Amino acid sequence: MVAFDEMRPDGADVREPYRRYEGWLSAQDAARLTEKMTDAERVFRRTGITFNVYGDNEAAERLIPFDIVPRIIAGREWRRLTQGIEQRVMALNAFLDDIYHRQEILRAGRIPRELIAGNEAFLPEMIGMKPPGGVYTHIIGVDIVRTGEDEFFVLEDNARTPSGVSYMLENRETMMQLFPELFQSVKVRPVENYPQLLRQSLGRVRPNGCTKETPRVAVLTPGIYNSAYFEHAFLADQMGVELVEGSDLRVIDGCVAMRTTEGYKEIDVLYRRVDDDFLDPLTFRSDSALGIAGIMDVYRAGNITIANAPGTGIADDKAIYSYMPEIIEFYTGRRAILGNIPTWRCSEDDSLKYVLEHLHELVVKEVHGSGGYGMLVGPAASKKERETFAAKLKARPGNYIAQPTLSLSTCPILTEAGLSPRHVDLRPFVLVSDKVQIVPGGLTRVALKQGSLVVNSSQGGGTKDTWVLDD
């Protein structure tokens, strides 16, 4: 199956979005471009743009591989994507509100009740709880793949604590440093105002009782050993808010307060990058040292906003994903603008049988998996790997879903031999408050290994700057 190349679909003619860039690129000296790649790596190393790799004893931290050839999206393409993304995130928020209240979608039989009741991502503690502003998913990352000129599909929704936005911002800043002349000749929509938009968006979902003109916002991090710690610190710095750990916070007089040199100061909005289980040792895991004892009581009393809301993980569960077309239609009354990838739920006997018989041609994922861990890419796996995975499937079928192996679109990267196509996906970032805001572009992840479909940085992938043309 030949993949759609976003720059040269037929290997010859350059697509319209890339024409200005290709004109500039063809005039460049190959040695200069190679030098710029080295400069980019130096910038990333100096800035400290790294990520942690769990279970890697050789290198706890790695540089994010960065390619200097941008991925370019036409303005008309982006408009269609934003319409589909906005429809999707509004449906996700309505779904969460319904699931934790009237559960009408279950009563209507559109989703099996057992898929919710037996799901570890569903928090009974959130039943009847209405977050400030009625917003559950304040920050969402929607992973999108492309298979043709006008064929876009949502690969998955990231409604818990989506990461990667710092790399999107640093990619753009690095490109503007390296090639300022490019941004004078090509009209690219800006992404650098994301931290300000995030700060404003979080401020608009302040608790009802907050009377401050400017709500106090803080970013809660698990600490320096978390894989996305760089991003936590980066965003707090860019927003001009405090970066805190659980040990910096305590509940005082029914509010969450942070320790400062002037005593404890009340926090109104907490952008948490800590998983639900570790958020409150009095409500969830009693052995957690990462959260704040009693924060859920403060939350239930309406004295703090937690972004994203606890319990949002049920919305990006990969088994729930398979019902997204029904979810969108149920809450919006319209068909989904962006399609889903066909999905087999291994918890169902017929689906499990099909998946086991077709492992060599499917991608199998854990329903709560992320980062490319715990998955099988059937066509790239050995017979022994497939047999081992089949045993896992039989032991815990409800823990997995399977999807066909898509021919993801490609974009060129710069190699020692020149430009060479590699598979990519896209994670646009969405902010939800009293309105929906979508940053023009997002994080393009690229599989640096030729022929590989795995784009996750933890699995050897890299990133690109994503240009949305202002046309």
What's the CA gap between 324 and 154, in Å, rounded?
10
Q: Is residue 32 part of a domain?
A: yes
pLDDT above 80: residue 115: yes
For the segment 396-404, the average pLDDT, to the nearest whole number, is 91
Q: For residue 421, name the pLDDT band (cuts at 50, 70, 90).
A: very high
Q: Is residue 397 part of a domain?
A: yes
Domain that holds residue 393: 344-404
78 and 142 co-located in one domain: yes
| Residues near 89 by beta carbon (within 8 Å), at least 6 away in sequence | 137, 140, 142, 430, 432, 436
Q: Is residue 66 part of a domain?
A: yes
Res 291: pLDDT:
95
Contact 373, 328 (CB under 8 A): no
Q: For residue 59, name the pLDDT band (cuts at 50, 70, 90).
A: very low
For the segment 164-187, the average pLDDT, to the nearest whole number, is 94
For the segment 131-156, the average pLDDT, to the nearest whole number, is 95
Q: pLDDT > 90: what percent of the chain? A: 77
Q: Which of 124, 82, 74 is nearest to 431 (CA)?
A: 82
Number of residues that this document lists for the chain? 471
For the segment 149-157, the average pLDDT, to the nearest whole number, is 94
Single residue among 404, 432, 455 that ends a domain in this structure: 404
386 and 303 co-located in one domain: no
pLDDT above 60: residue 371: no
Q: What is the pLDDT of residues 288-300, one digit of tens each?
A: 999 999 999 999 9
Overall number of domains in the chain: 2
Q: How far apart are the first and last CA of the chain?
A: 32
- Is the bond into 340 cis (omega within 30 degrees of 0)? no
Tell me how far CA of residue 436 lies from CA of 98, 137, 179, 195, 202, in angstroms: 19, 11, 32, 15, 12
Q: Is residue 210 part of a domain?
A: yes
For the segment 389-411, the average pLDDT, to the nearest whole number, is 92
Q: Which of 4, 1, 3, 24 is nearest to 15 (CA)?
A: 4
Res 104: pLDDT:
98
| Mean of the per-residue pLDDT values of the chain | 92
Q: In terms of pLDDT, which residue wins out, 181 or 456?
A: 181
Segment among 135-144, 153-162, 363-372 with least mean pLDDT: 363-372
pLDDT above 70: residue 220: yes
pLDDT above 50: residue 58: no
377 and 444 co-located in one domain: no
pLDDT above 90: residue 249: yes
For the segment 217-231, the average pLDDT, to the nearest whole number, is 93
pLDDT above 90: residue 309: yes
| Residues near 163 by beta carbon (within 8 Å), at least 6 away in sequence | 141, 227, 228, 231
Q: What is the pLDDT of residues 332-363, one digit of tens each?
A: 999 999 999 999 999 899 999 999 999 999 99
Q: For residue 62, name the pLDDT band (cuts at 50, 70, 90).
A: low
Q: pLDDT > 70: what percent of the chain? A: 95
For the segment 136-165, the average pLDDT, to the nearest whole number, is 94
For the segment 307-325, the average pLDDT, to the nearest whole number, is 93
318 and 390 co-located in one domain: no
158 and 147 co-located in one domain: yes
Q: For residue 177, name the pLDDT band (cuts at 50, 70, 90).
A: very high
415 and 391 co-located in one domain: no
Single residue among 386, 404, 422 that ends a domain in this structure: 404
Q: Which of 27, 16, 5, 76 is nearest to 179 (CA)?
A: 27
pLDDT above 90: residue 471: no
395 and 276 co-located in one domain: no
390 and 285 co-located in one domain: no
356 and 373 co-located in one domain: yes
Q: In terms of pLDDT, which residue wins out, 55 or 358?
A: 358
Q: For residue 142, name the pLDDT band (cuts at 50, 70, 90).
A: very high
Res 373: pLDDT:
64
CATH value at residue 361: 3.30.1490.270
Amino acid identity, residue 133? G
Q: Is residue 49 part of a domain?
A: yes
Single residue among 404, 432, 456 that ends a domain in this structure: 404
Q: In terms of pLDDT, which residue wins out, 57 or 455?
A: 455
Q: Is residue 7 part of a domain?
A: no
397 and 432 co-located in one domain: no
Q: Is residue 6 part of a domain?
A: no
CB neighbours (10 Å) of residue 434? Answer: 10
- Three-class secondary structure assignment of the chain: CCCCECCCCCCCCCCHHHHHHHHHHHCCCHHHHHHHHHHHHHHHHHHCCEEECCCCCCCCEEECCEEEEEEEECHHHHHHHHHHHHHHHHHHHHHHHHHCCCCHHHHCCCCCHHHHHCCCCCCHHHCCCCCHHHCCCCEEEEEEEEEECCEEEEEEEECCCCCCHHHHHHHHHHHHHHCCCHHHHCCECCCCCHHHHHHHHHHCCCCCCCCCCCCCEEEECCCCCCCCHHHHHHHHHHHCCEEECHHHEEEECCEEEEEECCEEEECCEEEECCCHHHCCCCCCCCCCCCCCCCHHHHHHCCCCEEECCCCHHHHCCHHHHCCHHHHHHHHHCCCCCCEECCCEECCCHHHHHHHHHCHHHEEEEECCCCCCCCCEEHHHCCHHHHHHHHHHHHHCHHHEEEEECCCCCEEEEEECCEEEEEEEEEECEEEECCCEEECCCCEEEECCCCCCCCCCHHHCCEEEEEEEECC
323 and 228 co-located in one domain: yes
Q: Which of 371, 368, 312 is nearest to 159 (CA)?
A: 312
Q: Is residue 4 part of a domain?
A: no
Tell me how far CA of residue 95 lies from CA of 78, 105, 327, 328, in angstroms: 25, 8, 7, 9
331 and 375 co-located in one domain: no
Res 61: pLDDT:
62
